[in-house]
Amino acid sequence: MSPTKKVLLVFLPSESGVDGARSLYSDKGSSALSRWFNQSLRTIIKQSQFAIPPLSLMILSSLDVPGVEQSICDMRFEEFPFHEKWDLVGISVQTGMAKKAFALADQLRCAGTQVALGGAHVTLFPDSCRPHADVLVPGEADDLWKQVLTDLAAGPLKPLYSSDSFPDLEHSRPVSKTALIKKRYFTTNLIQTGRGCQYNCDFCNVHLLNGHVLRRRAVADIVNEVTRFQQEDSRIFFFVDDSINADPAYALELFRQLIPLNIRWFGQATTTLGLQHELLETFANSGCQALLVGIESIETKSRTAHKKNQNRTEELVRAITAIRKAEISLYGSFIYGLDGDTLNTPAAILDFINETQLDVPGINILRPTPGTQVFERLREEGRLLFDPLDITAYRYSFGQEMLYKPKNIPLDAFIESYSTLTRQVFSIKNAVKRGMSAPRAKSAVLLFNLFYAHLYGLSRHDLQHQREKSHQEKTILPYAE
């Protein structure tokens, strides 16, 4: 009998964000006290376990194939185990992290280890990944990975595992947490009820990666999973779907069945929930503590320009008020810098936050992700600030970097107005106030607001640095086609 094949699934850390926020530039120039403070805060952020496990790797590591043993290496917490021998290393590649992923893949392949690459970047840009991999797995890998493991156990692997269709999620695939070190994470109770989005927002890649048709798992399957997970980890549940109320009848049925299990949960929804009274009541009764809602823009012109047509300004305030009245705390996410935005937009966002009493506001700068419609449009319009072919440029950061030129606002004025807005919204005083007045999850609301006071401070520091650098170099645009 041939020996068991060892497979390692790798998740790479991002440059910044809740996994350990840091300036995109070195701490050089800041005082020793400030460096000590920033380092301590980074450690606290990391150790407060806002990190959640990589769900896609959890799903793949749950596949049980005779003759194959799978582990997960989460490089947010550990170094790559080069001292061990692996028959196959699978790396999840996100566009902002592609350079790091390719460097690791090249190093492993030089040492004779086979490497499989999958994830969003491989799905959208397979050609750029091919030179760094023995095996490419573009698309949703639930069924393809099983085929990879089966082939690995039997002999040689193929260079490409792909499918023309999305996996049927009604087919039961039990998710296991055995490959996770549970204490590292805020919670390991991650549940995905479905994939796909019927909307077409031009800055988003969900509909490109998972399709426009909502695919749902069977309700009974999810109830079983919640019951099983609850026995292994008593912490809060996180329903990771982009919009947990996208199919109201399905959500009503699911969360009604979850009421007797007495869980507490977070999720992501559209503000329409505030107008779906029966569903809202069921969410509250099933233990919903807080929801993230994508407000994106309160400017009608901006929503139209970016195809985010499902929100209506006049309904937003009413819906948000209703959700908070049902005792569910709200994280409301905005994007400033959309094509209908002007220098009057920050004041409107501030008024909106004050009127609705959002518990955790998040104010992002538009981030053109390669592969999205907005990225292509900005490229055609000559508004990207970095080389569109440079995979290192379009990295994830926490509002710390301008990647494009806003349509109606000069770059300097934009940075100034964004910095003023985040200074007004994210103060220690506001964090305490929001924590105390949140309908539920008060301590989480307080912590998030405190961390944001720090993170948006980093954002102001880095944007100022970028601005000074471009002035010194006497060019507004670091990149020009």
Q: Which residues bind ligand SF4 (CB under 6 A)?
A: 197, 199, 201, 204, 206-207, 242, 294
Dihedral pair phi/psi, residue 356, rounded to 5°: -85, -10
| Residue 199 vs 396, nearer CB to ligand SF4 | 199
* Complex with ligand SF4: residue 242 or 462, whichever CB lies closer: 242
Least CB distance to ligand SF4 at residue 207 (A): 5
Q: How far is the CB of 200 from ligand SF4 (least distance, A)?
A: 6
Of residues 14 and 243, the one with the C-beta less far from ligand SF4: 243
Shortest CB 3 distance to ligand SF4, Å? 44
Q: DSSP of 273-296, one letter per residue?
A: GGG-HHHHHHHHHTTEEEEEEEEE
> Which residue from 321, 319, 316, 328 is spatially nearest to 357, judged by alpha carbons?
321
Of 286 and 373, CB closest to ligand SF4: 373
Nearer to ligand SF4, 274 or 457 (CB): 274
Within 10 A of 322 (CB to CB), how many other CB atoms are there? 17
Q: Which H or E run contains 9?
A: strand 5-11
Cα–Cα separations (whole angstroms), residue 98 to 86, 106, 118, 168, 393: 21, 12, 11, 29, 10
Are 235 and 271 contacting, i.e. CB atoms less than 8 angstroms apart? no
**Please, what is the minimum distance in Å from the beta carbon of residue 310 to ligand SF4?**
6
Minimal distance, residue 296 CB to ligand SF4, in Å: 7
Amino acid identity, position 255: F
Q: Angle 53-57-63 (CA atoms, 0-180°, nearest 5)?
A: 130
The DSSP H or E segment spanning 46 is: helix 32-47
Measured in whole angstroms, the distance separating CA 366 from the mean position of its chain's CA atoms is 14
Judged by beta carbon, residue 153 or residue 206, the one nearer ligand SF4 is 206
Find the shortest distance in angstroms from Cβ 463 to ligand SF4: 24
- Smallest distance, ligand SF4 to C-beta of residue 201, A: 3
Tokens for 350, please give them: 């501030």
The residue among 45 and 201 lying less far from ligand SF4, judged by its C-beta, is 201
If the CB atoms of residues 240 and 476 are measured against ligand SF4, the closer one turns out to be 240
Give least dist CB 242 to ligand SF4, A. Answer: 4
Residue 227: count other Cβ atoms within 10 Å of its Cβ.
Answer: 12
- CB-based burial label for 462 (10 Å; 0-12, 13-18, 19+): buried
